[in-house]
Structure 1
Amino acid sequence: MPVLKLHAIEEEYKDLIVCMRTHKKCNRDPYFRKIKKEWTYYNSAYKDIDERKVVEVVNKSVSTSLTYSIKISEYDSIINKINFLKEHEKKVAYKQRRAFLKEYSSMKDYLFYNMVLLIIVSFIFISLIIYSIIKKDNQLKILTKKYKMDSITDSMTKLYNRMYFDKIFDNMPFISNANNWKTAFVMFDIDFFKQYNDTYGHDMGDVTLKAVASNLKTYFNKEYEYVFRLGGEEFGVILFDIDEDILKECLKDVNKNIESLNIEHKNSKISQVVTISIGAVIYEPNSYISCNKLYKIADECLYKSKENGRNQFTIHNEGE
């Protein structure tokens, strides 16, 4: 565009020279107007500092040429300057084109490498998603997601309810076998709870149930640990991936923790505070003991704890 404007100005100067040579009284005004219009457009266009210095020199000559005092020979000089500007514009355009091509090439490389990076990141991300989708999730998570919390929670103690216990307990051997885990089923029973209700009333009985439930839930709060209210004052815990030594330490802690709640129970035959008796069975993977038998063994262990003085635990290992 700058070169076209300069070319138009040059042609107007040439036409003006022809007019002056062929007519003694050549009317220069139309030529001046066209030259001024084209030059103003060209001169007002953006130019950097170096270009502006070059253009300013020619600008003075063009401004001077738009008067009747200029001779034909001076117009030839201006045409030469216009031609000089044309060549200068071509050189500038060439440099700008080279700079643009260089920048364009750099931008293409930048976009290419970013696209490659984006593809790699997307591939990794998609791979992780696919991996997480196709990865075999363990049966516990499937069961947990299958039932809504409001339908599997005991309304008073906020523990899992008996219905959800049946779902987990029925699948306990299958889960243990599939993962090669030792699994413990533990039953808890508050000692002399009938006497507690008779002494302090059912409202206080409910408060005590909540306190014991909260203590159990706080203690057994890790992954693969499930705490249930089985009914009345009886609670159950299923512990996946556990061994007997750890289980013993856990049950010792539970006996101490419940006693340390210091809930008064003046009609208990073994203590002045609420205590708990515990029976547990450990299921060995691939031993194929039925759920009914496991429940019966845990209940028998609970009964032994009560026979032996309560506020203690009894463990039976099906692998022994």
Structure 2
Amino acid sequence: MAIVILSRGRCGLSRCITRYLVATAVADFLAIIIGCILNRISGNYIRYSVLSTTPLCSLSLVLIRCTRDVSVWLTAAFTFDRFVAICCQSRKTRYCTEKTASLVTGIVYTLSCVKNVPFYFIFEPLYILDGMSWFCDIKITFYTWLVWQVYHWLDRILTPFLPFLLILLLNVLTIRYILVASKVRQRLRGANNRGDLEMENRKRSIVLLFAISLSFLLLWITYVGHFLYLQVTGQGYYSGLDFNDSRFILQESANMFQLLNSCNNVFIYVISQNKFRQELKKLLLSPFIFSYSCFKQ
């Protein structure tokens, strides 16, 4: 619904913002389809489908990483776009355009896919039955070869360490700029600050920016903590079938929270918009309105 509503361009947002939000919504939708439905639900309830074979299992895990990286880096790109729009007015007309947003979106999608292609080759069959390889297990060489360890650390630095630092830094700078500008505006207006719509908009901007940073931190902290735990203890990723094992619970909780991060970006950005809520209400009521009009005729 978010993709449909945003694509219609009736939410009062600029084309630049709309482009980022639609791209983020598409990435989040793909994360839900691939990461949740095809990988998790299908893997639990349809154990021996074609999706459980090693080649497709490896491909789905790579696609999950691609959609995750796209969602995270589009969040960082949109945050930078808003930073330029608010704090760098002289460069707003050159950077904050639909053309730039389309270019950045294309680069993010392309680089995210290219970056995760090597992960396809780290898996081997968990077991082979009647000549058919089933499920995915991480190869021992992934933990012993230096090139894989370097790649693994680089992957974690690019997602989520670097995007989080960028988002946090840009939000701090943006909030600082808004607070300074608000104080100047209050001094210029004097005691008559009632009904200042500009001040109210800036307050909402601060709340929105804090929500973005806090949500990203809370939903990725378990994933980062699990990665650091493995590096300190020297253990590998758990691939057993004991669902009560504490390592399995920690690993799957981390995966669940980072998937949730891909699901809530659209809500953080657009649910707070009045026009988006109005368009959402129209979309939800449209089937009933259409049915009523047909019945009335």
TM bucket (normalised to shorter chain) is under 0.3
Q: Choose between structure 1 and 2 for higher RCO, CA contacts under 8 A separated by at least 6 residues.
A: 2
- TM-score, normalization: structure 2? 0.24
* Structure of greater Rg: 1
Name the one with the larger strand percent: 1
Name the one with the larger helix percent: 2
- TM-score, normalization: structure 1? 0.22
